[in-house]
Amino acid sequence: MPPGQWLAPENSVDIKKAVITAAGRHQAALPLQTLVDRDGTEKPALRILLEEIREAGIDDVCVVVRRGDVEAYRRAVGVHGSRLHLVEQDEPLGYGHAVWCARDFTALNPFLLLVSDHLYVSRSREGCARQLVGIASQESCAVSAVQATHESKLPFYGALGGRLVPGRPGLYQVEQLLEKPTPTEAEQSLIVPGLRAGYYLCFFGMHVLTPLVMQLLAEDLQHSDPGARVQLTGALARLANQERYLAAELAGRRYDIGVKYGFLNAQLALALEGRDQNEVLSGLVELLATRGP
């Protein structure tokens, strides 16, 4: 597939499909757990993600799940379940393989990709997904959302190095990618001018990708050993050498609900941005005031 084939007329990108991966061994049950959203309503994390996607103008969504999880996911989204495409990953062969499982759904279209164990809280009137889709549409290329992250968190994320796009604060031309690098590897290969010492640009769990990614993943699967895990980062590293590929810092933060206290932090972030903010703040103040020595 030649670079540029995915572009819509007039050099703009119309992104109408989204993929959520939820097939990881430690990930599958997380999107089914319930939180109180900003509107004060209890919802499974999956529904919060779906609403984030739909706020970005995308209604056609595919969720990649483990074998046997289809019905549990349909129940979790209730009335939205009939509109959802659910694809099973038959074997746990890595994040890249999970993305590749949605190849028939995405076909020759660009698509928004989210992981199911992250939630997002925007500091803007626009949700994080809407911000990213807007940047990708404007720039007509693949764009990964990133967040400046302390080196102590590098074991949890893919990270990248690059250079600022002239005149575009928070937008970077991607030059190097590593999956969960050590601090030494990051210091040697992933320097980004302007970041504080000890911080690196790590993936946000949200990308807009081109159809070329599916081709690159297919090549990785073809050349990997039987049963080997295929990661997305390797395909993205090769994408950066074949197409224009950017990274963008968004007005918002990701919350990884798969780590220790992840649900607690995500719930607090949602509550402090929601309609019950004052009640939550009062409760926190009271809790802190009554703590023993």
What CATH number does the domain containing 213 carry?
A: 3.90.550.10
Q: What is the pLDDT confidence band of residue 25, given thresholds at 50, 70 and 90?
A: confident
In this prediction, residue 74 carries a pLDDT of 87
Q: What is the pLDDT confidence band of residue 290, given thresholds at 50, 70 and 90?
A: confident
Go through 226-260 and write b for each residue having 16 or more CB atoms within 10 A of its CB, e for each that does not.
eeeebbbbbbbbbbbeebbbbbbbbebbbbbbbee
Give how many domains the chain has, as a whole number: 1
In this prediction, residue 8 carries a pLDDT of 38
Residue 169 carries which DSSP code? T
**pLDDT of residue 135 exceeding 60:** yes
Give alpha helix (H) positions in the chain: 45-55, 70-77, 95-100, 103-106, 128-139, 183-189, 212-223, 232-242, 262-272, 277-289
Examine residue 100 and state whether it is found in any structural domain, yes or no: yes
At 80-131, the pLDDT tens digits run 666 799 999 999 899 999 999 999 999 999 999 999 999 999 999 999 999 9
- The DSSP bridge partners found for residue 179 are 158
Decide: helix, strand or coil at residue 212.
helix
Quote the mean pLDDT of the chain: 90
Q: Is 194 left (phi over 0), alpha (psi -120 to 50) or beta?
A: left
Phi and psi of 132, rounded to 5°? -65, -45
- Which tops the pLDDT comparison, 226 or 244? 244
Examine residue 126 and state whether it is found in any structural domain, yes or no: yes
Mean pLDDT to the nearest integer, 171-200: 92
In this prediction, residue 12 carries a pLDDT of 52
Token pair 């009939």 in the structure block, residue = 82
What is this structure's pTM? 0.90
Of all residues in the chain, what percent carry a pLDDT higher than 70?
Answer: 94
Per the structure, the complete domain to which residue 241 belongs is given by 10-289
Decide: helix, strand or coil at residue 246.
strand
Residue 91 carries which DSSP code? S
